[in-house]
Amino acid sequence: MTSPTSNFTLPPAQEAVSERSVTSSENGVNDSRNKQLKRAKSKIKYRIPACKERQVFANIPIPEDKGQAKGKYVSNKIITSKYNIWTFLPKNLFEQFRRAANMYFLIMAVLGMIPAVSTNSPILTLLPLSTVVFLTACKDAVEDLNRHQIDDKYNSATCYLLQNFENVNYPNQTKLSIWKRILLRIKLFFKRKKSKPREDSNFNNDDNIPCKPSNEINGDPEFKKVMWKDVRVGDFLYLKNGDAVPADAIILSTSEHNGNCFVETKDLDGETNLKTRRCVPVDSIKKIKTPKECSQAMFWIDSEAPNSNLFNYNAKLTVVSDFTEVNPSQEQDFNSTHSGRGQNPRKSKNSIPIDINNLLLRAHVIRNTEWVIAMTVFTGVDTKIILNSGETPSKRSRIEKEMNQEVILNFIILIILALICAIGTGVSSYLLTNSKGKYIEERVAPNQGSIGLSSFLTFLSGLIIFQNIIPISLYISIEFVKGFQAFFIYNDLGMWDEDAEIPCVPKSWNLSDDLGQIEYIFSDKTGTLTRNIMEFRQCSIGGKVYGRNGWAGKTDASIGKEMAQGGDNLNDNVNKDEIWNQYLQELKNTFDPKYSSTDPDFLTFVDPDIYRDLNADKSIEEGTDGEFNIDDNLDKQKRASLIREFFTLLAVCHTVVVDKSDKFTNESDSEKSISDKGKTSVNDVHSDQTIENNLHQSDEEKSSSKNSSLDHTLKKVKHSITNIKSSFKGLESMASLVNSTSSKGKKSISIDKTLVYNLDYKAESPDEAALVSAAKNIGFSFLDRTLESMTIDIFGQEYVFDILNVLAFNSSRKRMSIIVRRPETLGGGIVLFCKGADNIIFERLASGQEILIQKTSSDIDNFSSDGLRTLTVAYRVLDKSFYDSWANKYQEASTAINERSSKIDACAEEIEKDLILLGATAIEDKLQEGVPECIERLRGAGIKIWVLTGDKLETAINIGTRRSAGSNGV
């Protein structure tokens, strides 16, 4: 048997880079991950914010040492177009005459206007060039007009903003120059002739015409409709379910009792699973519900400078006083205390840290949350999504660049030919003059003052005579071909997006000829080649593997491994009925399931041994901190304790939130929810609409979104069919598309009817939801979460764990920890639960666990060989005095504005050590249908495919073999 090999080929420009990366890694340069990330070199011109750190005030007069409000923040208006009415002609001409051919033909046209050398009419010379330039300008104008329309749609979209209150971050009256006043009057004149803006039906009230925000107070505070482009820094936003976020804003309060809200982030990171965001943990702020309370809240925000990092944000919020007790005398006292630089009482106030989990970004969409109140901190080009987008570049295809080189080469040949003619003219004139004398000179060249001038005129004439060496018709043909290619792409039924209900829109016609010249494809694995549906398969606890009994079948990677080794029998005979009967009997002997599934079709982890080992010790007690001596005859009581600690960790150490449904009373009730079958489901993402649909959605569609997901799917398919019919009415292939779409929309949604209560888990990562669901099905059910505590049901008994700190996962830490206080019935005390990559956890374990580490490491290697995603889990019991000392350091680090992440990571290093190893988990993410066939076709076309993954080497090789359908070339 030979092991599978890998014949991947690096791109030529990347080979040297790869060697340098390996060398740097061996020399310990990995510490650079703590340094600030820098952008890679690119031809794209990124936007660079001009402002630095900022302070945003709410209902607080700006201190004298900060000066007066200047309104210096950028507008929320976004411009992604390349041209406007003033710059179109010069910029477009510059873009076109960057082509060597256009410049060449322009030179030839100018030469053709010289009577001494011209052979044709100047009109015939200018007409082809003018035609090419005009057609290209029309094409560029159409492309840029589409960008203007998209910009106008977003800038004119509406949201609800607090009005009749003073935004102290802007002056009451803005001074305008005389030119801006003239332009403003012109704009107002043309706006009167336009129709009213489109109504936004997000709210059921009569305020349909957006107003202009100002600091004028004409009544009680209220939320009014304004356009996105008018949103300012320091404004209070009121967002409802389905609304898109117009600017980067800090969450102040939500409709949820725990202060959480759910957002859809696919327009930023491409991920469809919902993310959780939290309000600031200040009681007086998170209780804000009305416009009046917004106008009374007194606080300020110290924010970092705008940057393009979508996954990090540092700020802090300081509350002046409880706004329920504010009166005018207090405001006067506050003003008087800010009369000098040396007296600033804000330094004595408690500062609340704000991170990325408290921030809503522009292009986020609110989901499954009734309402959110937030304050804007970044607008327009200062928002993170715009800073990442860069300015609209001028793109040129590879063929166009090569044609420029060919034109220059042909031009050089043309000059050589003209020089040969000029030299020949000069030599012949010289010989004739010397042989025939002055008579020949006067008769042959009476209008030419000298032989040099005659040669020069011959050179220019030669350029004009031989100019057809570069045919101008070639460029006209190419422009027509690009236009027709864009038209065919737009009308291609195979590229119709059924979910978004839109065709493929070519936004840049210049790049259509690049489609057939792709040499490399770089692809992500999770969610791109895989389904992003995680299934909990196996686990290793105390050196013993559970779940390796063949219940869930073989993984894609194990199939690929057998294919690479020449195996033919890919299906083993497993008595699943016997395994299930034993598992169900042991489960019911342990506890009465309310939240756990007892339907074999919904479970991917079934092993009766786990309950047999648990039942060896009926009492729940704290794990042992001493040295482990793990072998095959491990003490049953200790193993039972390890299993309880293992699944308690899975139920506690996460950032998942839960929706708990009512008790199922009949079949119709059960159909309203969808069970997790020990894995996350695509149905957790309740909607897949774009921002445009959310901004202009009708009242009927808004109300229908509250119905069941099945009804929503059927209505969406019906609407999709109607639109497709109207868009492609004349196409004969429309019937087949409608039939296929209808059949896709009728697929059934599986329901787990064995659940007494359904727990709908929503997680930022599908891995987390899979782990929590697996613990729930074993009997460790996560029920509820607040900012301070979480409730866990363990075998029918509910326990409340106090949340002390959460050390979040990030790419540099590669682990997540949570510090909780156990309930007294479980032994009490402060415990740190930690999960992460095996190499990260192993180096932080306490001594004396070498045998357990060796066995767990061997199990992880076997999991990886089967293509499973592994995670190692451990815990530590903390001394109260040690924790109190550490908590003070962590509080200081979490409120730092500069280098907060590095300071928090340093604090985490102090406490995430001397851990006790519990085991490891193994999760599978199955491949999408048709992936092997698709890759084979791409490779058959000569395209090299690179898959970016964080899996272990063995996992990547086996999955790669499976994806290539056993091809030897991968």
Cβ–Cβ contacts within 10 Å for residue 966, how many?
A: 16
3-class SS of residue 303 = strand
How many C-beta atoms surround the C-beta of residue 729 within 10 A?
A: 8
DSSP one-letter code for 847: S
* Catalytic choice (269, 492, 524, 592): 524
Both tokens assigned to 156: 């004119």
Residue 382: CB partners within 8 Å, gap ≥ 6? 49, 51, 73, 74, 248, 306
Is 941 in contact with 516 (CB distance < 8 Å)?
A: no
Rounded Cα distance between 634 and 31, Å, is 40
- Whole-angstrom distance, CA of residue 725 vs CA of residue 170: 51
> Do the bridges between strand 944-948 and strand 520-524 make them parallel or antiparallel, or are there none, so unpaired?
parallel
Nearest of 776, 826, 758, 785 to residue 591 by alpha carbon: 776
Q: How far is residue 943 from each of residues 139, 701, 949, measured CA to CA in Å?
A: 31, 44, 19
H/E element, 110: helix 100-112
Check the annotation: does 869 bind a ligand.
yes
Residue 462 labelled as part of a binding site: no
Q: For helices 734-745 and 709-727, what crossing angle results, to 10°?
A: 180
**Residue 741 assigned ligand-binding role:** no
AA letter at 729:
K
514 is catalytic: no
**Residue 200's closest CA among 693, 884, 936?**
693
d(CA 159, CA 247): 11
Helix (H, G, I), strand (E, B) or coil at 688: coil
d(CA 268, CA 887) in angstroms, rounded, equals: 34
Strand partners, 877: 831
Measured CA to CA, the distance from residue 402 to residue 131 in angstroms comes to: 22
- The verdict on whether residue 768 carries a ligand-binding annotation is yes
**For helices 100-112 and 451-465, what crossing angle results, to 10°?**
130
Eight-state DSSP code of residue 758 = -
Answer yes or no: is 949 a known binding residue: yes
Collect all residues with Cβ–Cβ distance below 8 Å to 162 and sequence separation of at least 6: 221, 222, 223, 235, 236, 237, 238, 291, 294, 295
| Closest residue by Cα to residue 334 from 342, 322, 346 | 346
Tokens for 666?
């009949």
Number of helical H runs and strand E runs in the chain? 30, 26
DSSP code, position 244 = B
**Residues 160 and 143: beta-carbon distance below 8 Å:** no
Alpha-carbon distance 856 to 660, whole Å? 35
Task: Please name which of 673, 837, 869 lies closest in space to residue 770, comparing C-alpha atoms.
Answer: 869
Q: Which residues does residue 317 pair with via DSSP β-bridges, in sequence order?
A: 301, 352
Cα gap 849→353, rounded to integer Å: 38
Inter-helix orientation angle 100-112/398-436, to 10°: 30
β-sheet bridge partners, residue 229: none
Burial of 609 (0-12, 13-18, 19+ CB in 10 A): middle
Give the three-class secondary structure for 138: helix
d(CA 176, CA 119): 58
Between CA 510 and CA 401 the distance in angstroms is 11
Side-chain half-sphere exposure of 248, counting CA atoms within 13 A: 31
Written as six digits, the tokens of 815 are 């682990």
525 is in an annotated binding site: yes
Is 526 marked as binding a ligand?
yes
Which residues, in sequence order, are bridge partners of residue 534?
Answer: 925
Answer for the pair 765, 810: CB distance below 8 angstroms, yes or no.
Answer: no
Residue ranges of the binding site for ATP: 524-526, 768, 809, 835, 869, 949-951
Residue ranges of the binding site: 524-526, 768, 809, 835, 869, 949-951
Residue ranges of the binding site for Mg(2+): 524, 526
Residues marked active site are found at: 524
